[in-house]
Each structure stands twice: as C-alpha cells, then as structure tokens.
Amino acid sequence: MKNIKSKLVIICQIIVVAILISMVSIPRISNIGKEYVEFTTQLELKVWLKLDNTNSLEYINRTFDCDDFSIRLIDNARESGYKIYLYNDCDKYHCLCITKINGVWYKIEPQTDSVTSYCKEL
C-alpha cells in the first residue's frame, strides 16, 4: 500500500510540473531567429495597443496579475514583430512593459494600455 501511495505522489508531482511548464511563456519555434523592430512613433504604438486585446483580459489575483499581463503583451508584440520589454517597478512591486521609440523609453501599462514617457536612456 505504501508503494502505491508513493507512486501516486510521484504521478501527482509530474502532473503539477507539466501544468506549470504549460503556463510558462516559451517562444514559438517560428519566432526563433526572427528580427524584432522598435515602434517608429507613439501613434504606431497606440494603434497597435488598440488592436491588441491584452488589456481586456480578466485580472485574477496571484493567478493572472501584472506580470502575466506584461508577459502576454510582450508575447503579442513579438508575434507582430515588435520589441517590448518587461519592466519591474520595484518601488511599487508592479510589472509593466517598456519600449523604445526614437531613443526615448516609454512605459506601457498592459492592463490599461496607458503609455507614458520614461527617460531617454536606461
């Protein structure tokens, strides 16, 4: 009986690991080696954000929260060929995205699509 319990525990652990792996954002094979470009204008970024649906997703505390929204936006940007990066605002314990347009960095709040200039160089 003890042997069966230990095997069930191992099976459950494998299932949990498989679920966790499936939740991790892994670049698609078709994107390996792909060149990504910066947005050329704020307007181009805002139009792309309008077309993207990340901000319409449901916030679920500790399950789908700020880091998940940010990663989803980054994945969607890469699918469209754009460069967007993860930004961790340590003072606020909050994840956002950033992107560079003509030498200026912009913060993007993936949950609302708000865009604010950040700085000229990081």
Write a three-state SS string for 77-113: HHHCCECCEEEEECCCCEEEEEEEECCEEEEEECCCC
Q: For the chain, first and last CA: distance in Å? A: 60
How does pLDDT run across 64-102, given as a tens digit for each residue? 999 999 999 999 999 999 999 999 887 888 999 999 999
The pLDDT of residue 35 is: 86
Domains, the chain, ranges and CATH? 35-119 (3.30.460.70)
How does pLDDT run across 2-28, given as a tens digit for each residue? 666 666 556 545 554 444 444 444 445
Its pTM surpasses 0.75:
no
